[in-house]
Amino acid sequence: MKKLTLADGRQIAWREAGSGPAVVLLHGWSMSSAVFTEVIEELSADFRLLAPDLRGHGDSDPGTGYGLADFAADLAEWIQALDLREVALVGWSLGGQVALELCPALRERLRRVILVSTTPRFTAAADWAAGLPNLQVRAMARDLKHNYLKTMGDFFALQFAGEELPRERYRRIADFAVRGGRLPEPEVALAALETLRLGDQRSGLGAINVPALVQHGELDRITLAGAADYLAEHLPAAKLELLPGIGHAPFLSQPQEVCRRWREFLS
């Protein structure tokens, strides 16, 4: 792991491999950069891959807030400090929302965006059916307080619900993606979950005019496929890929095929 000290004294950690065009990989809620272990192995011959841990996740220091703007501010400072240019962002789940938040700050540094299992609004509302019920998210928060490790385990399993994923493959994924990283402290997970519950990025989508690939598993039970339709319709330069037979983590369920699609879009 590499580390950079930010202006406020906190450190941000990241994994890095390969050379060529810079691709920044942003992980999802309660995970870490370890989730991209196979992606880094698969794509490092073609790109310079950088996978940071969001604040309070993995090996990155915690902060005073866990809003989308907080996550994005750390990453903007980090990208500027490394002087990354012509950057492609790949954001998964919460990481996709962070990518959406980060796009305006990067401006001329950004060339492409891939949004995997991403939604502009995680919870449902009167004008938004493509989200989870508010009560379901609140119940998850209660479960985290009652039994943190069990709730995390149940959430991880939900990412593959409905898939025909061999048991050995599931164990392999859990080994590198979960045990290979570090779970956030419960208060960090709860604060980030509250960010998911309250966030709504729909109004800013029209200003993100870089080429975007919106990729979503049709079996996803965490961020619903209707959210991908909305992103593809409201991002000015978006392409939609719905993946049959796959849930919330396409690059874990079918790594070689998904990486092939990413390579094609980013090249």
Q: In this structure, what token pair is assigned to residue 204?
A: 């800013």
Q: Torsion over CA of 1, 167, 29 and 47, rounded to 10 degrees?
A: 50
Pick the CATH number of 2-266 from 3.30.200.20, 3.40.190.10, 3.40.50.1820, 3.40.50.300: 3.40.50.1820
Selecting among 93, 117, 216, 253, the annotated active-site residue is 93
Cα Rg of the chain (Å, integer):
17
195 CB contacts (<8 Å, ≥6 apart)?
Answer: 66, 67, 68, 94
pLDDT band, very low/low/confident/very high, at 179 (cuts 50, 70, 90): confident
179-183, 225-229, 242-246: the lowest-pLDDT one:
179-183
Residue closest to 8 by CA, chosen among 83, 78, 105, 101: 78
Tens digits of residue pLDDT in 94-132: 999 999 999 999 988 999 999 999 999 999 999 999 999
Name the percent of the chain lying above pLDDT 90: 97
Selecting among 60, 70, 248, 253, the annotated active-site residue is 248
Tell me if residue 32 is catalytic. Answer: no
Q: Which ranges of the chain does DSSP label H, i.e. alpha helix?
A: 37-43, 68-81, 94-106, 134-146, 148-158, 167-177, 186-198, 225-234, 250-253, 255-266
Domains of the chain: which residue ranges? 2-266
Whether the model pTM is above 0.95:
yes
Selecting among 53, 70, 74, 220, the annotated active-site residue is 220
